[in-house]
Structure 1
Amino acid sequence: MRGFTEEEKIYLRTQLLEKGRSFFSVHGFKKTSIKDLTNAVGIAQGSFYLFFQSKEEIYFRILEEEEEKIKSIITRQLPSAMTAKTFAAFLLSGIQLIQDNPFIRQLFFEGELETLIRKLPKEIVEEHIHKDTDLLAPLLDSWGIKDKQEQDIVSGAIRSFFLLAVHEKAIGNAHYDQTIQFLAEAIADKIFARRMNDD
């Protein structure tokens, strides 16, 4: 049996990601098998491992793609004249996009995020975190937050805010909206108070 050409590999990897997005969004991580994905694409189950190390990895790669779409949208929404109020609104807009995304919503609904991260190779998770920090670095730099350690802390705070979507039940449905509003304003106020002090 002949192997796949490079063009076929690119096509099949894209197809696996597309089918995975569809299956995971509808059925969730646990109820979707590698065989479901390979059958949908029309390749042998063993061929899956030419493209991904595990079901966890393909799931995480799709999650990254969905996050990139959201980042692209919210980055375009950033106003040129940023204030604490507009930055808080930016954070709230971002978390709403996360909650409205069917793939990410399924991940949060199943409560699989922590399990997924534990099963992934450490370098994949670290690479993902660095990407987030690198994306925010120019913005933070323009706000006078130039120290690398401080940038990591602020990026971590923003990343943690967006992960609040996982904990809606723990926070309490009755107070969830008010809680994220409060935290968005607190993060924004902290960042912009620092800017005023530096100025």
Structure 2
Amino acid sequence: MKDTKTLLFNCGKELFSRKGFKDTNVSDITKAANIGTGTFYNYYSSKEELFMAVYLEENEKLKKKILKSMDMNQEPGSLVKELMLSNLKGMKSNPILIEWYNKDVAYKIEQYFREQNGLDRLEFMYHDLFNIIKKWQEDGKIRNDIDSRMIMAIFTAIVTVETHKEEIGLQYFPKLLDYLTEFTMKGLAAVSEVAAGRDELK
């Protein structure tokens, strides 16, 4: 049973990478796996469920690779900017993760995940960053009067903005993301840091 599920996963991953989510269907996957189409549904309820499994694995691998390469002792502002930049580059270079920038697919990803896991798991894209945020709050490096999940949602919103670049105006990217990240981190600075900045201006 495990071997068949792994086979379907690997065939799906290969086809999603080569053809994309939209142009891959269940029969393509089962044909590549050399099993009957009906057998697919013993392991996955839909193409969306299989794609979500592949997407989450690729996402986790990218995030771990990025975090491993980072100096975690940097100041929050510098670290978040570097994380965001590395994440965007990594997603755009991965044929699975780049589907996030396809509005129809992104909607399906979000809808499926929320149906399966609930609205309280908005941090699914950046679980490790979520833990870092909580640590920064505990250490007084960023504001702790804002719920850590809200901060996570703000970071997720910054990344999601790029999926609307056509409506906003292509001429503003990627600088717009830099500004949003910069302004967000300044707004999240710990109260003591904000006060110190005000004193310097006096």
The reply to whether TM is greater than 0.5 is yes
Relative distance call for 1:45 and 1:140 in structure 2 (3 A) is same
Contact 1:24/1:32 (CA < 8 Å) preserved in 2?
Answer: yes
1:189 lines up with 2:190 in the alignment: no
TM-score, length basis structure 2: 0.79
Q: How far is 1:73 from its partner? A: 1.6
Contact 1:98/1:105 (CA < 8 Å) preserved in 2?
Answer: yes
1:5 alignment partner in structure 2 = none
| Range 28-37 or range 119-128, more displaced | 119-128
- Kindly provide the CA deviation profile for residues 173-198 of structure 1, in whole angstroms up to 9, marking residues without a partner as x: 22211111111212222233457359
1:4 alignment partner in structure 2 = none
Contact 2:5/2:43 (CA < 8 Å) preserved in 1?
Answer: yes
1:99 alignment partner in structure 2 = 92
2:82 alignment partner in structure 1 = 89
| Range 27-36 or range 84-93, more displaced | 84-93
Q: What is the alpha-carbon distance in structure 1 between the residues aligned to residue 8 and residue 172 of structure 2? A: 39
Relative distance call for 1:194 and 1:21 in structure 2 (3 A) is farther
TM-score, length basis structure 1: 0.80
Contact 1:108/1:166 (CA < 8 Å) preserved in 2?
Answer: yes
Contact 2:123/2:153 (CA < 8 Å) preserved in 1?
Answer: no
Pick 1 or 2: higher relative contact order, CA cutoff 8 A, min separation 6.
1
Matches within 5 A, 1:168-179: 168-179=165-176
Q: What is the alpha-carbon distance in structure 2 between the residues aligned to residue 48 and residue 61 of structure 1? A: 14
Contact 1:94/1:162 (CA < 8 Å) preserved in 2?
Answer: no
Q: What is the alpha-carbon distance in structure 1 between the residues aligned to residue 176 and residue 108 of structure 2? A: 26
1:60 lines up with 2:52 in the alignment: yes
Matches within 5 A, 1:112-151: 112-118=105-111, 122-124=115-117, 126=119, 129=122, 131-132=124-125, 134-144=127-137, 150-151=147-148
- Can you give the 5+ residue segments of structure 1 that lack an aligned partner in the other structure? 1-8
1:74 alignment partner in structure 2 = 66
1:155 alignment partner in structure 2 = 152
Q: How far is 1:143 from its partner? A: 1.0
Identity of aligned residues (%): 20
| Range 188-197 or range 92-101, more displaced | 188-197
- The alignment yields a C-alpha RMSD, in angstroms, of 2.8
Number of residue equivalences: 191
Q: What is the alpha-carbon distance in structure 2 between the residues aligned to residue 140 and residue 89 of structure 1? A: 15
